[in-house]
């Protein structure tokens, strides 16, 4: 009876908060609420409701890292010490001055100096995207990322804004333009959000703009409800040659003239590889931005200073791990590029090579498909080498005839030495013993005006239009009668005679009533 009576005792949320603090010092790795509820029951032998554990976790995090309101007051000082620890880092704060003279937070921009220096070694292709924050005052996190020589995500710049609109995206692009100048050699990838298009036209009029093919296919699925049509759109977008694109586009037009008109209105040069005016290389989607958003998912519920610390710690780990990885690699090109070339060699097995001149070759495939290779010009008639800057299988076969190493034919931004130079910089955490100027230390900054709506915040992302889960769309179940096996109706409303009644040729009303019953 005494043991059972102990389990009936209750605990305040402050006591449960002490248990949470003892179990974890990191909000992103702390126990879940159900686990915390079980810990209190096993360690203290007291019962605690789910809501009480939720309040206790909030108190524990506030005691460990401060409240959301205090984080905005500490934001100017944190940005100052972060810049002192990382030379070349670019930060900016935009505030709104109220009538009474108070400053309210609007936008924040952050780009580490090591990321800025490293991006200069990469292909001039950036992917911009956004993700929702789930802290007390909500907000939106805007990100810009590129892809390094080993096809890994390379984060460049971050921004926290109040909402995703024309003003916020324009302000973000204006700050980004100070790091990456507008030019015709720059390519920007994004989804088809209207505010991104408006801001790009204002700030980056010369840069080429490409649409993510994944988002485009989802829109096609949602508008025209035809899976075969989506596959054709994907095939047309990934086509290297104009003739292949035109042939696929004719199939799309024959299947759905409305879809063909929809794609024509967007413009083939905006979403297809064959007609794109800039350099897309291997990038056809915004998947690198989606991967970055997934990685940042654990820090999106923290307040703004902890979010910046989470980003800083993540980049510190990534730069350190990739420096160790590239130091072990001894090849002329990166490991992923080597795998890509080996895969290209396998696609042309059994082909014959005919020498036309010293640097001019013709490669004939098993089905008599002919491709013209110009080694000195680094071109191939399949257009894969021209657009990706990685030798296709035809070029590699022609290179074997002259004993040319594969690595010498690859674009300079895929080399191992460039990969090492990309991560030469170091991202340091903030320095605690920096003297903060008086005007920064005493600057009072109020949080965003928006508040999180009531209810439990969603942890999983809401699928966008046309997006299906991994298992595919749910198939509609066809109602079938259990008596006559026909569709449209069910057993209760079935009026069809049974098969053994039809064979006899005689249907009695009494027998039919008994059969229906």
What is the full DSSP assignment across 208-250?
A: EEEE-HHHHHHHHHHHH--HHHHHHHHHHHH-SSHHHHHHHHH
Helices in 276-334 by DSSP H: which ranges? 287-295, 304-328
Neighbouring-strand partners of residue 415: 333
> Do residues 79 and 134 share a domain?
yes
> Do residues 309 and 372 share a domain?
no
Domain that includes residue 20, residue range: 2-65
> Do residues 371 and 296 share a domain?
no
Q: Could you tell me if residue 272 is inside a domain?
A: no
Helix axis angle for 50-65 and 13-23, nearest 10°, is: 60
Q: Could you tell me if residue 168 is inside a domain?
A: yes
> Do residues 305 and 390 share a domain?
no
Which DSSP letter does residue 184 get?
T
Residue 141 to residue 462: CA distance in whole angstroms: 16
Q: Could you tell me if residue 439 is inside a domain?
A: no
> Do residues 353 and 310 share a domain?
no
> Do residues 120 and 57 share a domain?
no
Q: Could you tell me if residue 110 is inside a domain?
A: yes
Residue 397 to residue 399: CA distance in whole angstroms: 5
Which DSSP letter does residue 428 get?
P
Report the chain's terminal Cα–Cα distance, integer Å: 59
Q: Could you tell me if residue 247 is inside a domain?
A: no
Q: Could you tell me if residue 107 is inside a domain?
A: yes
> Do residues 50 and 73 share a domain?
no
Residue 188 to residue 211: CA distance in whole angstroms: 9
Q: How many domains does the chain have?
A: 4
| Residue pLDDT tens, the chain, 517 long | 666 565 556 677 777 777 777 766 665 566 777 777 787 777 777 777 878 887 787 777 777 666 777 888 889 999 999 999 999 999 999 998 888 888 889 999 999 999 999 999 999 999 999 998 887 778 899 999 999 999 999 999 999 998 889 999 999 999 999 999 999 999 999 988 899 999 999 999 999 999 999 889 888 888 888 778 889 999 999 999 999 999 999 999 999 899 999 999 999 999 999 999 988 898 888 889 988 988 888 888 888 998 999 999 999 999 999 999 999 998 899 999 999 999 999 888 888 888 888 888 899 887 778 899 998 888 999 999 999 999 999 999 999 888 889 989 999 999 999 999 999 999 998 877 778 888 888 888 888 776 666 666 665 655 555 555 445 544 556 678 887 878 878 877 888 876 544 444 444 444 444 444 4
Which DSSP letter does residue 298 get?
G
Helices in 383-474 by DSSP H: which ranges? 384-388, 393-402, 416-422, 438-441
Closest by alpha carbon to 512, among 485, 489, 483? 483
> Do residues 292 and 342 share a domain?
no
Final residue before a domain boundary, out of 37, 65, 93: 65
Residue 462 to residue 331: CA distance in whole angstroms: 43
* Residue 113 near residue 87 (C-beta atoms within 8 A): yes
Closest by alpha carbon to 152, among 346, 321, 331? 321
> Do residues 153 and 131 share a domain?
yes
- Model confidence, pTM: 0.80
> Do residues 177 and 296 share a domain?
yes
> Do residues 167 and 314 share a domain?
yes
Q: Which residue has the tokens 């505010």?
A: 195
Final residue before a domain boundary, out of 65, 82, 97: 65
Final residue before a domain boundary, out of 397, 414, 431: 414
């Amino acid at each position: 009876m005494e043991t059972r009576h102990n389990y009936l005792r209750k605990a305040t949320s402050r006591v449960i908060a002490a248990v949470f603090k003892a179990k974890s010092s990191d909000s992103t790795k702390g126990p879940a609420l159900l686990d915390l509820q079980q810990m209190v029951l096993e360690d203290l032998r007291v019962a605690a409701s789910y809501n009480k554990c939720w309040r206790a976790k909030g108190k524990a995090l506030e005691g460990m890292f401060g409240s959301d309101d205090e984080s905005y007051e500490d934001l100017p000082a944190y940005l100052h010490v972060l810049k002192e620890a990382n030379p070349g880092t670019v930060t900016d704060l935009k505030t709104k001055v109220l009538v009474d003279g108070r400053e309210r937070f609007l936008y924040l921009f952050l780009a580490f100096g090591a990321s800025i220096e490293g991006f200069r070694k990469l292909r001039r292709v950036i992917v911009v995207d956004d993700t929702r924050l789930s802290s007390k005052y909500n907000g939106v996190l805007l990100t810009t990322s590129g892809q390094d020589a080993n096809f890994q995500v390379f984060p460049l710049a971050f921004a926290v804004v109040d909402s995703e609109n024309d003003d916020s995206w324009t302000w973000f692009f204006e700050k980004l333009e100070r790091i990456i100048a507008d030019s015709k050699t720059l390519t920007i990838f994004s989804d088809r959000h209207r505010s991104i298009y408006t801001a790009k036209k204002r700030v980056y009029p010369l840069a080429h703009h490409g649409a993510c093919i994944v988002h485009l296919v989802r829109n096609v699925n949602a508008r025209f409800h035809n899976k075969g049509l989506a596959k054709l759109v994907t095939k047309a977008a990934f086509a290297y040659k104009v003739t292949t694109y035109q042939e696929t586009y004719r199939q799309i037009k024959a299947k759905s003239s409305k879809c063909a008109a929809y794609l024509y209105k967007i413009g083939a040069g905006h979403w297809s590889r064959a007609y794109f005016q800039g350099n897309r290389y291997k990038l056809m989607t915004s998947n690198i931005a989606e991967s970055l958003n997934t990685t940042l998912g654990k820090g999106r519920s923290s307040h703004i200073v902890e979010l910046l610390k989470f980003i800083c710690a993540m980049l510190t780990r990534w730069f350190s791990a990739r420096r160790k990885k590239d130091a072990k690699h001894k090849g002329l090109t990166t490991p992923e590029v080597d795998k890509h070339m080996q895969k290209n060699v396998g696609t042309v097995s059994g082909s014959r090579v005919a020498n036309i001149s010293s640097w001019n070759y013709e490669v004939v495939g098993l089905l008599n498909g002919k491709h013209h290779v110009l080694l000195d010009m680094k071109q191939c008639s399949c257009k894969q080498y021209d657009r990706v800057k990685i030798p296709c299988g035809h070029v590699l076969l022609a290179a074997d005839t002259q004993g040319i190493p594969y690595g010498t034919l690859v674009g300079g931004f895929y080399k191992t030495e460039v990969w090492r130079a990309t991560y030469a910089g170091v991202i340091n955490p903030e320095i605690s013993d920096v003297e903060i100027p008086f005007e920064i230390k005493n600057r009072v900054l109020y949080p965003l005006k928006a508040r999180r709506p009531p209810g439990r915040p969603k942890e999983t992302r809401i699928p966008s239009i046309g997006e299906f889960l991994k298992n595919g769309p749910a198939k509609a179940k066809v109602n079938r009668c259990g008596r006559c096996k026909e569709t449209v109706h069910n057993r209760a409303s079935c009026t069809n005679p049974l098969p053994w009644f039809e064979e006899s040729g005689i249907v009695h009303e009494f027998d039919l009533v008994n059969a229906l019953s």
